Each structure stands twice: as C-alpha cells, then as structure tokens.
Structure 1
Amino acid sequence: MDTKALRDLDDAEVIKQVKTARREVFGLRFQHATGELENTAGLRSAKRDLARALTVARQRGLDENTKA
C-alpha cells in the first residue's frame, strides 16, 4: 500500500494495517529462515510497507496497543 492510500485511511484502519503488516513480515521471516520462501524480494517490500504504516501512525500520534 502506498503512502497516499495510508494517509487517506482513518486511525483505526491505520492501526489495523500496522498489525497486518507486522504479521506478514513475521510470516515471511519465518518462511525465509526455514527455507520455504521463494520470493525473497517480498520480504523487503513487506518491511517497507510496515515502515510506511508505522510512519503514518506515529505522525498521527497513534499507539497500536491502546486503540482498535
């Protein structure tokens, strides 16, 4: 998801996107460690998506543990 689309989301959806991106990165890292991951570029793009979502959340002053 690009930055413009993330900025258009409301606060609850941004937090949901952060949590989803964290789960995705964890799953990809696990697959990479066990040798099951075929597309290693997906790990890099997932990390970048997580960073974008975290940036938007921090700019808004959101904490993923307290809301939604």
Structure 2
Amino acid sequence: MKASDVKSMTQDELTTELAKLKKEQFNLRFQRATGQLENTSRFKEVRRDIARIKTIARQKASAAQG
C-alpha cells in the first residue's frame, strides 16, 4: 500500500482498513507462533501499513482541527 493511496481515503475508510490490517497482524502472529507462517515478509509489510495509516489519519485529524 502506497502513501498516496492512503491519502486519498476518507477517515471512515482509514478506520476500516486499520481494523482489517490489525486483524491480519493478529492472524500472522498466530501463524508465526505455530510455525505455519510461510511469507515472513508479510508481517513487516502489515506493520508498516498500520503505521502509515495511523500517521496519515493523525495528519488529517490535525488538519481538520487547525
């Protein structure tokens, strides 16, 4: 997911996408613990996507206030 894609999303879409990614991260954690995780790089991608969404959501919220 690119930052430009995230910037074009609305606040509701960001919230939905964040919830979806957190659920995926939870599932990946369980797969890693049980030894079923095949694509280990996906864990890093999901973590970075979560950070990217949180950052842009925060920027939008502060821009709306100020």
Q: 1:33, CA displacement in angstroms?
A: 0.8
Give me the TM-score of the superposition, normalised by structure 2. 0.85
TM-score normalised to the size of structure 1? 0.82
Rounded to whole Å, the distance in 1 between the matches of 2:44 and 2:7 is: 21
Q: CA deviation at 1:61?
A: 2.6
Secondary structure at 1:9's aligned position in 2? coil
**CA RMSD after TM alignment:** 1.4
| Identity level (%) | 37
1:15 Cα offset (Å): 0.7
What is the match of residue 13 of structure 2?
A: 13
Unaligned runs of 5+ in 1: 63-68
Moved over 6 A (4+): none
Larger Rg belongs to: 2
Q: What does 1:1-68 correspond to in 2, within 5 Å?
A: 1-61=1-61
In structure 2, list runs of 5 or more residues that go unmatched: none
* Superposed CA offset, 1:2-48 (max 9, x none): 11100001110011111111111111111001100011111011111
Q: How many residues align?
A: 62
Q: Secondary structure at the match of 1:37?
A: coil
